[in-house]
Amino acid sequence: MKITTIRFNTNLIRTIFSLIYTKLFKNVNLFFLPNLEKKKFEHKFHLKKNDVLIKTLLCGYCGTDKKIITFDMSVFSSAFLDSPKHKSKMIYLGHEIVGQVVAKGRNVKKIKLNDKVIFDSVIRNSKDEKNNVFGGFTNYFVKNENQLEVINKKLPNDKAILIEPLACSLAAIKKTLIKKNDKILIIGGGIIGQGIMHLLRHFYGNKIKIVIATNSKDHLSVMNKSLPNNIIYKKNIFIESKKILKTNYKSILNNKIISNGYDIIFECSGSDEMINKAMRLTSKNSEILLAGMNMNYVKIDPTPIWHRNIKIKASMDYKYKYSEFKKTTLKYIHDLIYENKININNLKIKKIGINEWHKLFNKKNYGSIKKAITFKD
């Protein structure tokens, strides 16, 4: 079978050059990195009895993919260690995928040929070199049937690839205890932050107050501005929160702290600075949920934690199934979208053809919430 893929070549010389380049020049057009390469080759898949061969229809470019190619060691190290043990180590990128079933193993029962599917785990490499599953930035790959979720064929691909990140947004909400009249701050207007915003409105309507803060013009442009009560865009978050909450701030150990702040804060940016600021924007007995990936060492001032009795939690993934929904998490999110119970039409996806793959890694978001690769020329 003819394979087309975008992969990350961990050749030592390429890696040293790319590592220096990314550390010296931040926020660069990453397609210049010598580690990134588009390759075509022949590959024979050997399906095991419960395997499914899938054709990639669309795959989103996730923040974890960017962390891998910019050598964020919290993610790159695990991706590298997961690579198959052969001479030329490759990391195959992409996991926010919607695909079509083109072949299956003899024991596969619940999946049919031509089914449209998504799945819930990161796809990089199979340690079985003969049956390399590749990743979503590849036109074909293999997955076990138990990791697949069949979706409605009528659901557009650009909405289907949002099911997995919205499931992560749901997981963040499920880890908090939200009450009527709570004041909620979402820091970060990317897909996780906006997913939380959409789901909060679905669950609680106008019973809560939602504020979202973002510095991204692209994120602001695709935001459904009817959902949050207030938007903080490129402004001092303390000054704006003081106005929105009609409160004041005081100084504790020479640092500003809001007097009567937010009851729950979802930190979705993964920023060291914003993690520290979040603690100073809280109220008494509040919660901070860390939903933005940051697995690096972060220096914090713990003063607000004990002063405000703050609970700090983290959310990285979601449960396969929440008992109250009586269906898998992915199926639950799928149904919300397909039945228009949440309107995500504003969350635009920029589709990029494989022949223009370098656009996936440049700085432009093209007025979209996410970029995605398609193998249609």
Per residue in 205-239, pLDDT (tens digit) is: 999 999 999 999 889 999 999 999 999 999 999 99
> In this structure, is residue 190 part of a structural domain?
yes
Pairing mode, if any, of strands 116-119 and 183-187? Answer: unpaired
* pLDDT computed for residue 302 by the predictor: 86
> In this structure, is residue 333 part of a structural domain?
no
Q: Could you tell me which of 178, 151, 174, 145 has the C-alpha nearest to residue 164?
A: 151
CATH at residue 99: 3.90.180.10
SS3 of residue 360 by DSSP: helix
Give the total number of structural domains in the chain: 2
Q: Could you tell me which of 374, 357, 354 has the C-alpha nearest to residue 69?
A: 357
Residues of the chain with pLDDT below 50 are: 85-88, 122-130
* pLDDT computed for residue 124 by the predictor: 42
* 181 shares a domain with 123: no
Question: For residue 36, what are the domain limits?
Answer: 2-162+347-374
CATH at residue 207: 3.40.50.720
pLDDT digits (tens, 9 = 90+) for 76-105: 656 666 655 444 477 888 889 999 999 999
Non-local CB neighbours of 161 within 8 Å, separated by 6+ positions: 58, 59, 60, 96, 97, 98, 118, 349, 370, 372
pTM exceeds 0.75 for this model: yes
* 89 shares a domain with 102: yes
* pLDDT computed for residue 271 by the predictor: 86
* pLDDT computed for residue 80 by the predictor: 62
* 247 shares a domain with 150: no
* pLDDT computed for residue 27 by the predictor: 55
pLDDT digits (tens, 9 = 90+) for 3-38: 999 988 877 777 777 777 776 666 555 656 667 889
